[in-house]
Amino acid sequence: MTLSAIAAAAVIWAALMLVAHRRNRLTARCRRILRPHAERYVIEKRWLERWSRSPGEFETQWRHRLRRHYRSHVPWRDRALVTPGDFERALNAEFAGLLNREIDSWTFIDRASDSPAAFARLVARSLEQLGWTVRLPAEDRRQGAHLILEDGRNRVAAHLHHAATEIECRAVQEVVAAARRDACNLACIVTNGRIGGAVQTLAAAFEVRLLHCSQLDQIGGVPAATEADLRLAA
């Protein structure tokens, strides 16, 4: 081997080592960026897996979500070195650090809702999956009830409360009035946050169910829980 060939091989080797080092640094940075979102993404994945009609539908939807998250977290200038496969491996590495018992204690609605509108959409979708017929009240009757639910036995006026603000006693009074207007036999407040003592007292007086969004299966059949029983949002 000539001296020029050795020099060329050394240059190529140095370039490859530099690329590998740069790629490792970018992948490590990608994991650091993903870490705060790992909980929400693993819940999103489990939710899709639970409600997809088939393994193929789940795989298609999850791949679509992965591509969206990849574009969101990896700048275009780094995509030549951090491929979608690298991104998925980094995300799976973060998933591996989450204990199953922690994952089981979370709710998708809690972690995926970033606004009252998103919270309302996710609650409505969850209730439909549980067999409820979900509809909006008539426009002139929307104060107090965000959803009207029916399952053949019960008709429920549901007030949805996102944890960005604290529940007020007025919400109890409004959902009771909405239940009377729409001929409902049950009224409830669904939240992803904490419920104060004054609201609990008033709700008990009017027989309004107070439920955390992880308790949607209890809307029609189990008495409302106290604050100590609620799985409160972090």
Pair of tokens at residue 134 = 């979900």
pLDDT of residue 53: 78
222 against 58, higher pLDDT: 58
Q: What is the mean pLDDT of residues 102-111?
A: 65
pLDDT tens digits, 87-104: 999 998 888 877 665 666
| Same structural domain, 99 and 170 | no
Q: Does 77 fall in a domain?
A: yes
| Same structural domain, 138 and 90 | no
Pair of tokens at residue 7 = 């020099």
Last residue of a domain, one of 75, 106, 137: 106
215 pLDDT higher than 90: no
Q: Does 38 fall in a domain?
A: yes
What is the domain range of residue 115? Answer: 109-229
pLDDT of residue 138: 66
Separation between Cα atoms, residue 59 and residue 55, nearest integer Å: 6
* Count of structural domains within the chain: 2
The one-letter amino acid at 89: R
| Same structural domain, 71 and 116 | no
| Same structural domain, 88 and 130 | no
Q: What is the mean pLDDT of residues 1-22?
A: 78
* Torsion 191-197-201-202 (CA) sign: negative
CATH number of the domain bearing residue 156: 3.40.1350.10
| Same structural domain, 183 and 156 | yes
| Same structural domain, 102 and 144 | no
Last residue of a domain, one of 53, 84, 106: 106
| Same structural domain, 74 and 175 | no
| Same structural domain, 69 and 147 | no
pLDDT of residue 103: 63
pLDDT tens digits, 110-152: 666 778 888 888 888 888 888 899 988 766 455 667 899 998 8
Q: Are 175 and 162 in contact (CB under 8 A)?
A: no
| Same structural domain, 27 and 63 | yes
Q: Does 234 fall in a domain?
A: no
Round the average pLDDT of the chain to a whole number and report it.
80
Separation between Cα atoms, residue 35 and residue 81, nearest integer Å: 20
| Same structural domain, 76 and 151 | no
| Same structural domain, 114 and 188 | yes
| Same structural domain, 131 and 213 | yes
Q: Does 30 fall in a domain?
A: yes
Q: Are 231 and 194 in contact (CB under 8 A)?
A: no
Closest CA to 230 of 207, 209, 212, 208: 212
Last residue of a domain, one of 45, 72, 106: 106
Is 201 buried (19+), middle (13-18) or exposed (0-12) by CB count in 10 A? exposed
Model confidence at 230, pLDDT cuts 50, 70, 90, reads: very low
